[in-house]
Amino acid sequence: MNLVLLGPPGSGKGTQAKRLQERLGIVQLSTGEMLRAEVAAGSEIGRTADTLMKAGHLVPDSIIIDIMDKRLDQADCAPGFILDGFPRTVPQATALEVMLDAKKLKLDVVVSIEVDDEAMIARISGRYSCAKCGAGYHDLFQLPKVSGVCDTCGGVEFVRRKDDNAETVRERLKAYHAQTKPIIAFYDERGLVKRVDGMGPIDEVTEKVQSVIDKQAMS
Ligand code: AMP
């Protein structure tokens, strides 16, 4: 199963992609995580991306398309993949189509997680993750069971993304509406989009996403 998870920043697509990765046994490909790794490594791509990401702007299509083209050739993608944060513009969606054709692959479904902008700002501003295993938490909505200790791995250090502040989030939402939302129409034309209400609790959204995917797998 090859799928795309679409949704504005804070819609929970990263969390849902991680859960699907475990349930379906296929790899999550997050361009945001790939770029953050480049930034941490201090590479040339990382230096270009860092400034743009901190400002809430998108990284140029050419960089992202090249990263993804190479990533999709790796062996762990053969059983299927979950695209998280890619494509984010119509040129990226077009490039993905060409790329998949050349690799004799196709998308099975595009899941669009639909949410409300103002709620997204509150959600993103409070989120953080375990520095050791990456498990996600939130100041208001998802605290660890024992304060200061990661439920998943027992880690005691936590990190917040540099671009998870209200000002940058507003820019990221603007970029989403101007550049990413039009790809829903692009995939609607191809009959691939399934819409899921992303406003409920995380577990409920997971069930809805899973049910859409199960139906798709049976069709
Ligand atoms: P994310 O982790 O998906 O929220 O992405 C964090 C940031 O990385 C975005 O705000 C962009 O600056 C950059 N980014 C991630 N994926 C893409 C993409 N497909 N195209 C352009 N920029 C991206």
- pLDDT tens digits, one per residue of 147-174: 999 999 999 999 998 888 888 888 989 9
Residue 12 has pLDDT above 90, yes or no: no
Atom 14, ligand 1: residue with shortest CA distance: 32
pLDDT band at 93 (very low <50, low <70, confident <90, very high): very high
Query: What are the pLDDT digits (tens) for 40-90?
Result: 999 999 999 999 999 999 999 999 999 999 999 999 999 999 999 999 999
Does the annotation count 23 as an active-site position?
A: no
> Given the CA of residue 175, which atom of ligand 1 is nearest to it?
10
Residue 119 has pLDDT above 90, yes or no: no
Cβ atoms of 59 and 50 closer than 8 Å: no
Structure tokens at 75: 């062996």
How is the beta sheet containing 27-30 ordered, strand by strand?
Answer: 27-30, 81-84, 2-6, 109-114, 193-197
Does the annotation count 174 as an active-site position?
A: no
- What is the CA(30)–ligand 1 centre distance, in A? 9
Residue of 54, 132, 161, 170 marked active site: 161
The pLDDT of residue 200 is: 87
- Cα 162 versus chain centre, distance: 16
The pLDDT of residue 9 is: 86
> Given the CA of residue 172, which atom of ligand 1 is nearest to it?
10
- Residue 84: phi, psi to the nearest 5? -125, 105
Full-model pTM = 0.86
The pLDDT of residue 131 is: 96
Q: Where are the alpha helices (DSSP H) in the chain?
A: 13-24, 31-41, 44-54, 61-71, 90-102, 117-125, 166-175, 182-189, 202-218
Query: What are the pLDDT digits (tens) for 166-216?
Result: 888 889 899 999 999 999 999 999 999 999 999 988 899 999 999 999 998
b/e per residue 122-154 (b: at least 16 CB within 10 A)? ebbbebebbeeeebebbeeebebeeeeebeeee
> Given the CA of residue 86, which atom of ligand 1 is nearest to it?
19
**What is the C-alpha separation between 184 and 193, in angstroms, rounded?**
7
Q: Where are the alpha helices (DSSP H) in 128-193?
A: 166-175, 182-189
- What is the CA(2)–ligand 1 centre distance, in A? 20
Residue of 19, 36, 88, 123 marked active site: 88
Q: Name residue 149's beta-bridge partners.
A: 146
- Cα 8 versus chain centre, distance: 9
